[in-house]
Amino acid sequence: MQVGLARRTLTPFGLWMFGAAASAPMVVLSGGIVATYATTRVTALPLTFGLVAGVVAVLAVGYAAMARQLGHPAAYYGMLAHGLGRSWGVAAGMVALVAYNAIQISLYGPFGATMADHLGGTWWVWAGIALVVVGVLGVRAIVLSTRVLAVVLAVSLLIVAAFVLAGVGQPAAGGVSWTGFHASGLAVSGIGGAVAFCVAALMGFDAPGSFVEEAVDRRSVGRATVGGVLVLGGVYAVAAFAMGVAVGPDVVAEVAADPASGLPFSVLSRLGGWWAALASVVLIFAIVTSMLAFHAVLARYVFAMAREKVLPAGLAKTGSATRVRAPRGGSLTQTSVAAVVVGAFAISGADPMAVMFTWLSTLGAMGLLCLLLAASVAAMTAPASVRGPQAGAWEWRLAPALGVLGGSVVLVLMVGNVGSLLGAAPGSLYPFLLPAILAAAAVGGGLWAGHLRQARPEVFAGIGRGTPKTHAVPDTINVSI
């Protein structure tokens, strides 16, 4: 029997939910939006969210089209292997492993710091507990993770809605101000940093592409991905608008920069103190579910690349003799990597928020944006055999081209402002370690592909082409029968 994942187990809503849970609306509300206002002082943050979400949604069109056609769990790896060449595919796979690991591991910082603030203890002890929980859930069937994510995501969105009502219902200036949507607010020095923060907040929306082999309907991947960007972008724009209205758009940056202000919990308290308490609890669970979503994506990347023997074949292990459950080999690998990295930060004494979270999340967001751009290029150059007989010009030509143009501008702004994002001193070269790490991962992947071409040509020939045929792996219902 050919090794495969559990076919027809994720519904369209389940796919969308993984992307939304990875982005973590509660984390963006309590951390991302507050930090962006405080750091960049851009009052037009709601408009910035809308514009960035529009660009990313256009970039996601080609990504979603390729994911639907290829059905490969290591999405970027498979896309570039088919659209640009096998060596490019391996390079993309290595960059994806670095980027997704960086984002997933970065979340142990805020989780540990939040738990230590509320209950005491050392941040890395709490991070270790979270690591065990995510690791245990990661080796279980995907249905269990889906149920956990659904509950936390639903409550998170409820709290964000309550925050919007509290902010807009009791505006600071006595009336609702629309300053957050004024285009003139974009022409300020901090706009590059705001764009970068917005990109980081949206990352995770591409998670549905890694679950395509398990989807009930491949066509739903596109709706879950592109729709997820637009929904999340809208939610974050409205939340940022409500925060500006709640405290006043002219002073929101100063209030956000003051830890004593307690944003966003102080605004939620206007509806009753229990709302703030509930939000604090849900924030902790939201961080864990975001970790779990990224963990699941990484487990599938490791599994899919090991199935094609680009990574050690022993990692292509699933959860049962029928080989249709969780990719345990990939899950255990990601848990091990996370344990080593968290341990390294703990030993070094680095601050879990200012250093671990900020640096790793920025590295991950930058890497995923580069991969999105590459996926759009791959969509434009994909052969007819990949595009299919009913390929549309919008999906395969126009949207990817527009996405590359807009995404390139966003990437330049992000790289150009990486120093301010990380709080580095002006002129410091340390922030440029991040693009250097991504470049090294891509070069390393290309060199490994070259080695496979020479030493193991049969493995090289199968790069990006290891997904089982439709009937090679039985559906779960057939196995139970």
Instruction: Report if residue 474 sits inside a domain.
Output: no
> Does residue 2 fall inside a structural domain?
no
Residue 142 lies in a domain: yes
The set of residues, in sequence order, having a beta carbon less than 8 Å from that of 379 and lying 6+ positions away, is: 62, 63, 65, 66, 79, 83, 395, 396, 400
Specify the pLDDT at position 470. 54
pLDDT bracket for residue 448 (50, 70, 90): very high
Task: Examine residue 480 and state whether it is found in any structural domain, yes or no.
Answer: no
Domain contains 7: no
Long-range contacts: 396-400, Cβ < 8 Å, 24+? 396/62, 396/65, 399/58, 399/61, 399/62, 400/59, 400/61, 400/62, 400/376
At 307-349, the pLDDT tens digits run 999 999 888 866 554 444 568 888 899 999 999 999 999 999 9
Can you give the pLDDT at residue 323?
47
The per-residue pLDDT for range 179-193, each reduced to its tens digit, is 889 998 888 888 888
Query: Residue 479 pLDDT more than 50?
Result: no
- Per residue in 219-242, pLDDT (tens digit) is 788 888 888 899 999 999 999 999
CA 303 → CA 63, 132, 233, distances in Å?
A: 20, 20, 31
Find the CATH number of the domain harbouring 61: 1.20.1740.10
Distance from C-alpha of 118 to C-alpha of 334, rounded to nearest angstrom: 28
**Residue 478: band (very low, low, confident or very high) from pLDDT cuts 50, 70, 90:** very low
Mean pLDDT in residue range 289-308: 92
- The 10s digit of each residue's pLDDT in 67-125 is 988 889 999 999 999 999 999 999 999 999 999 999 999 999 999 999 999 898 999 99
Residue type, 415: V
3-state SS class at 10: strand
pLDDT at 144: 62
- The whole-number pLDDT of residue 141 equals 62
Compute the mean pLDDT over every residue in the chain, rounded to the nearest whole number: 87
Asked if residue 477 is part of any domain, the answer here is no
Nearest to 355 by CA among 415, 423, 418: 423
- How confident is the model over 4-37, as pLDDT tens digits? 665 656 777 888 888 888 888 999 998 889 988 9
Residue 1 predicted with pLDDT over 50? no
The reply to whether 1 falls in a domain is: no
Tell me the per-residue pLDDT of 367-420, one tens digit each, with 9 for 90 and over. Answer: 999 999 999 999 999 998 888 877 788 989 999 999 999 999 999 988 888 777
* Mean pLDDT computed over 128-132: 95
For the chain, what is the domain count?
A: 1
Domain of 372?
Answer: 12-468
In 45-122, where does DSSP find H-type helix?
45-70, 75-83, 86-106, 108-119
The answer to whether 169 and 244 have CB atoms below 8 angstroms apart is no
Residue 479 lies in a domain: no
User: Diameter of the chain by CA atoms?
Assistant: 72
Identity of the amino acid at 423:
G
CA distances from 169 to 49, 90, 165, 235, 242 (A): 22, 52, 5, 17, 9
Which pair of structure tokens corresponds to residue 227? 């729709």
- The residues with which 10 forms a beta bridge, in sequence order, are 215
